[in-house]
Amino acid sequence: MKAVGIKKSHPIDHTDSFIEFNTEEPKPGDSDLLVRIKAVSVNPVDFKVRQNAAKDKELEEPKILGWDAAGIVERVGNKVTKFKQGDEVYYAGEIDRPGCNAEFQLVNENIAGHKPKNISFEEAAAMPLTSLTAWECIFERLKIEENSGENQDILVLGGAGGVGSIAIQLLKKLTKFNVIATASRNETEAWCRNMCADVIVNHKNLEEEMKAKGYEQVDYILNFSDTDMHWDAMANLIKPQGNICSIVETKNPVDLNILKNKSVAFHWELMFTRAKFQTPDMHKQHEILERISKLLEEETIETTLNKTFKGLSPETFKEVHSLQESGKSIGKNVISF
Amino acid sequence: MKAVGIKKSHPIDHTDSFIEFNTEEPKPGDSDLLVRIKAVSVNPVDFKVRQNAAKDKELEEPKILGWDAAGIVERVGNKVTKFKQGDEVYYAGEIDRPGCNAEFQLVNENIAGHKPKNISFEEAAAMPLTSLTAWECIFERLKIEENSGENQDILVLGGAGGVGSIAIQLLKKLTKFNVIATASRNETEAWCRNMCADVIVNHKNLEEEMKAKGYEQVDYILNFSDTDMHWDAMANLIKPQGNICSIVETKNPVDLNILKNKSVAFHWELMFTRAKFQTPDMHKQHEILERISKLLEEETIETTLNKTFKGLSPETFKEVHSLQESGKSIGKNVISF
């Protein structure tokens, strides 16, 4: 099968930052689906792995990136019960297995979902990683209950990014929270409004902007932006006994004590945790994707797809990684094969 | 009224580390009880405030320490509904108001409880601060439900201290968790067994000891010991998606990222948070103390009082602070007036 991957960690504008190659079509294990990929999307994890996986020396075999896909089940493993050949599926996959930037990919059925029937492969490929991340942040890490949040405020740092875009929608459609999202440009502000955020603030002067809009403190903070940069502001803006959930690793050690007087909790969310550690509740990611599928079919939420690119080729991935690395990407960028 | 307090932050063996003085009997505000103190206990917060409250220059008025008391209601404020004159009460109090090392003290009725009928003032004075802390850690910060915890493990770092002693009891009596407590001396190990811990490990070689006892990872960690010292071990010993709750501030910035791969949450608990920020749910501390009172009366749990001292005098407080500062104190030390 044809694939695009890396043999060495190069800057994105290097000739060999991505290479095209042929490799054997993988064989499904007991719980695996072999999926013919129709579309993939790119997330920050893609360029982080590209920048770091082969820093020192060239890999013996090229590494296939990509952790967001929609496609058609070509074949199933012996013990698969949730899917059959020909099913249309979407999923994020596992960080420790080959990615989806290829003609075919294996995925454990417990972390895959049926693709929503009413949208395209491209629109579906935009959703899995960010929806799983946003869902786990809101409903599992922070244990927010559906329909709760009346008279409560939640601040979403990085509202126009992939995770922010779907988090705002899930909050607005499944809870009663007042959703304050951050954006710093006209385009991102408009995007957040389109996702139904109640209030938009500029994260460049976060505390002042919040005060100017009448908010001293909020019940919850979801951080999909820069954890180090917002650390002090988050500590000031969170209510006593409040909860912060973040998906962005810190560059430096942090002063944890500034959260202590208020008895605040800090939660990490990493969508790859369940599959990485093969947790007993790994199948919940299947359930979340089925639910997201239903919400998309009912048009309760909408795809966060923004731009579509074409072709399983190094050139396309270079273009999209470049856009993603700029930090100016809005919503999701998808590549269809 | 007579009181014991500090005018300057001195080492405990300094002549004036504590002074005796007379001051006006305080007048209850609308929601206050004026309590005639019968017994108090000493917690780490006492010596931390003593060491830091007047580091640079002498205070104009002496500061009264002490945040754990049992006594009799002498008079009530205009809007008090939960207590009446003559009631026997116990409470921890507020960090921003004068403490209990005095003949009389004011306390807001929303954070006070009725003293258990079947135990002495000394036995009761040992309980409020540590019970509130342990209860908030377990049932509020970590949101553990009563009767839950079947086939789950919880690690209590610092099992023989004041908070550890009551946390172990609450876990063993109100949940189904397997409780692993740390202790490093024969006396503390015996004390933890007496509190009904299932397993005792030495926290000096925590990870090795845990492995030797058959534990790779646990579902929850309660840290009542040294946060910096145990940071790496906690990161290794916590299960994916697990929760850590700590009450001990860190000395240095910490590497928060080591909790990220597992999507772990870190919760702070400070018993003073609710009163300090006058949170709308401050009255829950009244409810917790009422429940603790009932549990003590039913003999479901027992007082963690270990040693009793006598007299509202600088000498007594010097002796008890000295013991507390040594870090070798077991259970609670109480002073009766």
In chain A, the domains with their CATH numbers are 2-127+279-336 (3.90.180.10), 130-268 (3.40.50.720)
Q: Do B256 and A253 touch (CB under 8 A)?
A: yes
- Helix then strand count (H, E) for chain A reads 10, 16
A42, A335 contact by CB (below 8 A): yes
Across the range A19-40, mean pLDDT stands at 98
- Strand runs labelled E in B176-320: 178-182, 199-201, 218-223, 238-246, 265-268, 305-310
Residue A230, chain B, CB below 8 Å: the answer is: no
CB atoms within 10 A of CB B300: 14
Instruction: Compute the distance between CA of residue B1 and CA of residue A142 in angstroms, rounded to an integer.
Output: 48
pLDDT of residue B101: 98
Q: Name the residue with higher pLDDT: A33 or A56.
A: A33
Contacts of residue A281 in chain B, CB cutoff 8 Å? Answer: 241
Q: Do A265 and B266 touch (CB under 8 A)?
A: yes
Backbone angles phi, psi at B81, to 5 degrees: -120, -20
In this complex, how many residue pairs, one in chain A and one in chain B, have their CB atoms less than 8 Å apart? 98
Residue B230, chain A, CB below 8 Å: the answer is: no
Residue B50, chain A, CB below 8 Å: the answer is: no
Q: How do residues B277-300 score in pLDDT, each as one tens digit?
A: 999 999 999 999 999 999 999 999
Contacts of residue B254 in chain A, CB cutoff 8 Å? Answer: 253-254, 256
Average pLDDT value over all residues in chain A? 97
Average pLDDT value over all residues in chain B? 97
B121, B91 contact by CB (below 8 A): no
CB atoms within 10 A of CB B54: 17
pLDDT of residue B327: 84
**SS3 of residue A176 by DSSP:** coil
Instruction: Compute the distance between CA of residue B91 and CA of residue B289 in angstroms, rounded to an integer.
Output: 8
Whether the pLDDT of residue A204 is over 90: the answer is: no
Percentage of residues in chain A having pLDDT higher than 70 = 100
Contacts of residue A240 in chain B, CB cutoff 8 Å? Answer: 273-274, 276-277, 279
pLDDT of residue B329: 86
Question: Searching chain B, which residue's CA lies closest to the CA of residue A277?
Answer: B240
Question: Searching chain A, which residue's CA lies closest to the CA of residue B231?
Answer: A256
Q: Calculate how close chain B gets to A241, using CA atoms only, in Å.
A: 8
Whether the pLDDT of residue A281 is over 90: the answer is: yes
Q: Using CB atoms, which residue from B227, B240, B268 is nearest to A264?
A: B268
Contacts of residue A268 in chain B, CB cutoff 8 Å? Answer: 256, 259-260, 262-265
pLDDT of residue B233: 98
Residue A11: is it exposed, middle or buried by C-beta count within 10 angstroms (0-12/13-18/19+)? exposed
Nearest 10 degrees: CA dihedral of B237, A222, A98, A64? -130
pLDDT of residue A18: 98
Q: Calculate how close chain A gets to B295, using CA atoms only, in Å.
A: 26
pLDDT under 50: residue ranges of chain B: none
Residue A271: is it exposed, middle or buried by C-beta count within 10 angstroms (0-12/13-18/19+)? buried
- C-alpha R_g of chain A: 20
Residue A120, token pair as written in the block: 């395209």
**SS3 of residue A36 by DSSP:** strand
pLDDT of residue B301: 97
Residue A212: is it exposed, middle or buried by C-beta count within 10 angstroms (0-12/13-18/19+)? exposed
Residue A65: is it exposed, middle or buried by C-beta count within 10 angstroms (0-12/13-18/19+)? buried
**Of B3, B28, B34, B4, residue with least CA distance to B17:** B4
Residue A56: is it exposed, middle or buried by C-beta count within 10 angstroms (0-12/13-18/19+)? exposed
Name the residue with tokens 């990136």.
Answer: A65
pLDDT of residue A115: 98
Q: Using CB atoms, which residue from A240, A250, A281 is nearest to B277?
A: A240
**SS3 of residue A112 by DSSP:** strand
Whether the pLDDT of residue A329 is over 90: the answer is: no
Percentage of residues in chain A having pLDDT higher than 90 = 97
Residue A280, chain B, CB below 8 Å: the answer is: no
- The amino acid sitting at B93 is G
Name the residue with tokens 């910096």.
Answer: B228
Considering Cα of A105, then A109, then A110, then A115, what sign does the dihedral take?
Answer: positive
Q: How do residues A81-110 score in pLDDT, each as one tens digit?
A: 999 999 999 999 999 999 999 999 999 999
Per-residue confidence at A327, pLDDT binned at 50, 70, 90?
confident
Q: How do residues B13-47 score in pLDDT, each as one tens digit?
A: 999 999 999 999 999 999 999 999 999 999 999 99
Instruction: Compute the distance between CA of residue B301 and CA of residue B194 in angstroms, rounded to an integer.
Output: 11
Residue A250, chain B, CB below 8 Å: the answer is: yes
Nearest 10 degrees: CA dihedral of A153, A156, A162, A167? -20
pLDDT of residue B246: 98
Instruction: Compute the distance between CA of residue B143 and CA of residue B136 in angstroms, rounded to an integer.
Output: 9
A186, A159 contact by CB (below 8 A): no
pLDDT of residue B32: 98
